[in-house]
Structure 1
């Protein structure tokens, strides 16, 4: 299973930092073994000023070896910028929720699908793979949960357009394992599991539980965000953080899934991000320590305080 780190996009769209900080973050994550990133979004800088430097960030890390650099786009102009920057893939910001569709990119879901069809023509032969988000695939931000049956009409339309790389985003953290299995199963009738990315926003504390059915379903990629960082300008005041990368890596590796990521370096980078940069951090393993390796390995209680229990 490939871990795709989305913190450089998800955290910094809601927390403006200098370009050099973003480049240093990617460098630290590369040293930890991360090889896939959602690096930025090519969207209007007046609406998302934290990502106005997308071209500069891509240019700074483009030549890193054996790395996949992806992005988000909302229209033809954004896709043209992504292609020019050399993005490996660009995911269109398609929302299953009508209200959020208008708040996020200013058009209905139906109009967004028409725009996606135009984008598919532009992407053809460009070297940048065009995929699509399905934002709030499991429901939300305030509406009821969505089922596999709810997904099928949208899936058929995407199939007709010819876009077969999907990011199913549980953007409001609605899904426990049964709902994960249902929706991924429904999507797998239209695209192969290796073309599916699942992105969990851990708003309701079920994010780690969602990983286990994704292993069973052989989903190709899981999106995570270092230290659980994130937020969205169109949803001010909402938590919006992604599933914590370091917690996800520990669970996957203890479940027998090789992520290729050095957990200790990942934790060091998460601590750097939260303390040096000031991004609010969540998660567990960087506070409690990783599960010790090998039989009889001593637990490290150096973080504790006398009298605690």
Structure 2
């Protein structure tokens, strides 16, 4: 199968779900093991941030230490400052993504620092990462707009993109954190980003707050994006946005759409569905999604449970 027909799913539920849903460390590690058994190899595992701000991720070092026992995984994390980056490097993280918000109000609420001041901090961090062998990326949170303000365009990204390259950070995670983007908006902002960094340096993270998440996948493939962040069972939330629909694009729904579109993910969908149901029922995390309720579209020789229709 050609490289163009392969997508790397990076699973973010271990960070996104558990930053707002408190569970023991063993549950987090069990989730990673289940997902690894299903074929997922790339994870955003936790955040190295102040535990008083996000107590659900206070065990980041322990989670990294135990997840390292599972062979063949790429383990990333989020960081909010140079101290967090040093903790991530010491814990053995392969990569760390700085929490840079395109929305000024959320930047202050999330890490207590303006976007401009965050870029100054990121510049200091870039030098540390180069000296300590850890890949430093940056989020652009609310790249498409939100959490309450109007949508953002590709033009809105230009100034920030140039500043990031001046700093020397050329691995970006564009996050549609409020689920603003339909396919046209996806194409516009990603096309702008690709004028500054190659597709292999760009990850796109879609949140499904407004029901448009799956529609973003195929335009991303057309644009050459091959790393996509998703969250098992559409799980997730954020302590700075209580009550908001903070879940990521549902991993099992995304995998089904990709595989049926001829794109290889290397993920076992039935095992993924089992893991999603475990997360929803055994762990009790708030979850969404379709495939785990209806069953996957049957392949040759398979059947699926009939749906109950009300007329």
User: TM (normalized to structure 1)?
Assistant: 0.97
**Structure 2 stretches lacking a partner, 5+ long:** 1-6
Question: Which among 108, 112, 115 is matched to residue 114 of structure 2?
Answer: 108
Partner Cα separation in structure 2 for residue 292 and residue 286 of structure 1: 13
Contact 2:13/2:231 (8 A) holds in 1:
yes
Partner Cα separation in structure 1 for residue 131 and residue 227 of structure 2: 24
What is the CA distance between 1:297 and its match in structure 2?
4.8
Runs (4+) off by over 6 Å? none
For 2:92, the equivalent position in structure 1 comes to: 86
Task: Give the secondary-structure state (helix, strand or coil) at the position aligned to 2:180.
Answer: coil
Would you say how many aligned residue pairs link Structure 1 and Structure 2? 305
Partner Cα separation in structure 1 for residue 226 and residue 21 of structure 2: 29
Residue 167 in 1 paired to residue 173 in 2? yes
For 2:305, the equivalent position in structure 1 comes to: 300
Residue 75 in 1 paired to residue 81 in 2? yes
Correspondences of 1:1-309 after superposition (within 5 Å): 1-294=7-300, 297-301=302-306, 304=307, 308=310
Which stretch shows the higher mean deviation, 122-131 or 74-83? Answer: 122-131
Cα distance change of structure 1 residues 31 and 299 upon mapping to structure 2, 3 Å threshold: closer
Partner Cα separation in structure 2 for residue 149 and residue 308 of structure 1: 46
Partner Cα separation in structure 2 for residue 125 and residue 268 of structure 1: 42
Partner Cα separation in structure 1 for residue 303 and residue 272 of structure 2: 21
What is the CA distance between 1:299 and its match in structure 2?
4.0
Partner Cα separation in structure 1 for residue 118 and residue 11 of structure 2: 26
Partner Cα separation in structure 2 for residue 243 and residue 308 of structure 1: 27
Partner Cα separation in structure 2 for residue 189 and residue 129 of structure 1: 21
Partner Cα separation in structure 1 for residue 26 and residue 231 of structure 2: 19
Partner Cα separation in structure 2 for residue 164 and residue 56 of structure 1: 29
**Structure 1 stretches lacking a partner, 5+ long:** none
Task: Give the secondary-structure state (helix, strand or coil) at the position aligned to 1:277.
Answer: coil
Task: Give the secondary-structure state (helix, strand or coil) at the position aligned to 2:282.
Answer: helix
What is the CA distance between 1:220 and its match in structure 2?
2.5
For 2:3, the equivalent position in structure 1 comes to: none
Partner Cα separation in structure 1 for residue 222 and residue 183 of structure 2: 11
Task: Give the secondary-structure state (helix, strand or coil) at the position aligned to 2:87.
Answer: helix
Contact 1:195/1:220 (8 A) holds in 2:
no
What is the CA distance between 1:300 and its match in structure 2?
2.3
Partner Cα separation in structure 1 for residue 81 and residue 287 of structure 2: 32
Alpha-carbon RMSD: 1.1
Partner Cα separation in structure 2 for residue 228 and residue 299 of structure 1: 22
Contact 1:25/1:269 (8 A) holds in 2:
yes
